[in-house]
Amino acid sequence: MNGLYWFVSRRYRHAVEIRKHVERERNAQRDLLSANALEELATGLAEFKETMRDTEELESVQAAGKKLEEVAAKWLRPYPGGSSRENIREFLVSAVLILSIFSFFAQPMKIPSGSAQPTLYGNVTTDLKPTQRPVPGVVDRFFDWFRGVDYHVWTAPEDGVLSIDPPSTTLRFIKTQSFSIGKHTYSIWWPPDDLLAPVPGSDTLKCGVSPGQRFRKGEIVLKLRISSGDRLFVDRLTYNFRRPIRGETIVFASTGIPDLTQNTHYIKRLVGLPGDRIRIGNDRHLIVNGERLDAATPYFEKVYAFRGPPRDSQYSGHVNELVARQNGRGRLAPLFPDETAELVVRRGHYLAFGDNTMNSYDGRAWGDFPREKVVGKAFFVFWPFTERFGLVYR
């Protein structure tokens, strides 16, 4: 019956909280209290617990709680700023709990690039000025935001030369990118990684402008469509109990791995385990230890369900350097020049490729990496609300 009181009676819950608070403060002040005070507090706590155990009358529990409160007021010393101390304590407990979850169970991660497309999407910056495409209205932009799409339009407020500041970071996680003309500045919060990347064969950047470019008042400077990368949780727990399985989408730290951007994380599909002999056939299928993988291989159902020539941002299997050059791309797979080239994954190492085989910097270029760099596997996409929202399996 007492359990039912806890759910239906606020006064009963208040009495229980009084008992918890008195126990906590008595333990905190034990070295400051006299023997008489400790004895009287212990007696009051024992009587309260006995009342809760032996009675089903709500009034008796409330009376016992009031009596215990009187004993506590008599002996326990009030702390200055008690409510602030309590709030700080609760905040610290919550912070420790959240950090523990992120450290040992589920780490949030943002997909930075398009190498995992179409399984997972990274940042995509589209300059709308050359296409003359109009920016959607307020209602459409509102719904686009839930799909991870944002628009940035900035018109030159005066004649002047464009200045592009280096990206800045505040509080270690608030990132901004600023563009300036004269005394006027336009900032993009949490800009995509490729925003200032150069366009091959051009003097402009992905954002459609270049430093030093001159604009007249009223001229459009920026007209961008930015698709944010998928945000997901990384399962950090499973690999404490088993080794990764070929085909799983894994996340690993790049620190200390040659030829990779340092102090970040990469997400790729695991294709090679220690000791595996890997070749990439001209038909865009992997050959592992002499066996050809296909759409019937677990975790590769979509990767090898392609039709037609290899295309960017589509499932197109895995291309070697010969096939890449035949389709207008080069230096994608220097370690796999043709289908006869074989790479043996070293002991204690893994080999991983991106699903976007025509636009992925992966193990075809930099080889295998140490097993201890693995952080976990892709688990759950929590943003944006697209068809990819939910569990990550394939």
Query: pLDDT digits over 233-284, tens only?
Result: 999 999 999 999 999 999 999 999 999 988 889 999 999 999 999 999 999 9
Degrees (nearest 5) of the Cα angle 217, 221, 225? 145
Compute the Cα dihedral for 259, 260, 262, 263 and give only its sign.
negative
- Are 255 and 156 within 8 A, CB to CB? no
E strand or H helix that includes residue 15? helix 10-28
List alpha helices for 55-153, DSSP H.
58-75, 82-104, 138-146
Cα–Cα distance for residue pair 338/263, rounded to 1 Å: 32
Closest-CA residue to 161 (of 106, 105, 210): 210
Q: What is the mean pLDDT of residues 278-297?
A: 98
Query: pLDDT digits over 144-172, tens only?
Result: 999 999 999 999 999 999 999 998 888 76
CA dihedral 199, 157, 141, 189 (to 10 degrees): 60
Write the CB contacts of 6 (distance below 8 Å, at least 6 apart in sequence): 12, 13, 16
Domain parsing of the chain, residue ranges: 2-75, 124-227, 231-391
Degrees (nearest 5) of the Cα angle 211, 216, 219? 90
Kindly report the backbone phi and psi dihedral angles of residue 18, in degrees, each rounded to the nearest multiple of 5, phi listed first: -60, -45
Cα–Cα distance for residue pair 161/366, rounded to 1 Å: 41
> Hey, how many other C-beta atoms are within 10 angstroms of the C-beta on 212?
10
Residue 122: pLDDT above 80? yes
Where residue 324 falls among pLDDT bands split at 50, 70, 90?
very high
Residue 9: pLDDT above 70? no
Residues of the chain with pLDDT > 90, as a percent, come to: 56
Give the architecture (CATH level 2) of 231-391: Ribbon (2.10)
> Hey, how many other C-beta atoms are within 10 angstroms of the C-beta on 347?
8
List alpha helices for 321-376, DSSP H.
321-326, 363-366
146: left (phi over 0), alpha (psi -120 to 50) or beta: alpha
Cα–Cα distance for residue pair 120/250, rounded to 1 Å: 12
Residue 1, pLDDT score: 47
Token pair in block for residue 79:
């702390």
Side-chain half-sphere of 56: how many Cα atoms within 13 Å?
Answer: 3
CA dihedral 20, 26, 27, 28 (to 10 degrees): 110
Degrees (nearest 5) of the Cα angle 26, 30, 33? 95
Cα–Cα distance for residue pair 74/56, rounded to 1 Å: 28
Residue type for position 79: Y
Residue 179: pLDDT above 60? yes
Cα–Cα distance for residue pair 213/162, rounded to 1 Å: 5
Bridge partners of 376, per DSSP, are: 251
List alpha helices for 194-280, DSSP H.
none
- Number of residues written out for the chain: 394
Closest-CA residue to 129 (of 110, 153, 101, 161): 153
Do strands 174-181 and 168-170 pair parallel, antiparallel, or not at all (unpaired)?
Answer: antiparallel
Degrees (nearest 5) of the Cα angle 335, 339, 345? 45
Residue 80, pLDDT score: 66
Residues of the chain with pLDDT > 70, as a percent, come to: 94
- Are 335 and 341 within 8 A, CB to CB? yes
- pTM of whole model > 0.75? no
* Least confident window among 37-46, 85-94, 205-214: 85-94
* pLDDT, mean over the chain: 89
Cα–Cα distance for residue pair 254/231, rounded to 1 Å: 19
